[in-house]
Amino acid sequence: MIREDFEKQMLKIQIAYNKKFSSDELKLWFKEFMATDVKEFEKAIDKTIREVRFTPNIADIRSKIAVNPNYYYIDDPYAYLYKNLEWGKFVK
């Protein structure tokens, strides 16, 4: 994620909750979500604004980001050992 995309999403939170984040808070939030995909982050922000009544914290946003539990097994170098024809094959 680049800084401009992050600032655009954080502006949504600041407007929705009428809260101005300090520069230190913004740096902390950016470090936390730097590796997050922009589309996933935007979905999480929008979902949080719809569902959370009070100013969200990092954990609120992090909990809204969709995580596929199969990523662990797909990215595993030994994924071929988990191959189970009853459940299907891993496709890379």
Domain ranges of the chain: 3-74
Q: Which CATH number fits domain 3-74: 1.20.1070, 1.10.8, 1.10.1660, 2.60.40?
A: 1.10.8
CA distances from 54 to 7, 10, 43, 62, 73 (A): 20, 15, 18, 16, 36
pLDDT at 87 over 80: no
Q: Give the Cα separation of 19 and 66 in Å (integer).
A: 26
Give the mean pLDDT of the chain: 83
3-state secondary structure of 90: coil
pLDDT at 33: 92
pLDDT at 9 over 70: yes
pLDDT at 69 over 80: no
pLDDT at 40 over 80: yes
pLDDT at 26: 95
pLDDT at 12 over 60: yes
Q: Give the Cα separation of 59 and 33 in Å (integer).
A: 11
Q: Give the Cα separation of 8 and 34 in Å (integer).
A: 14
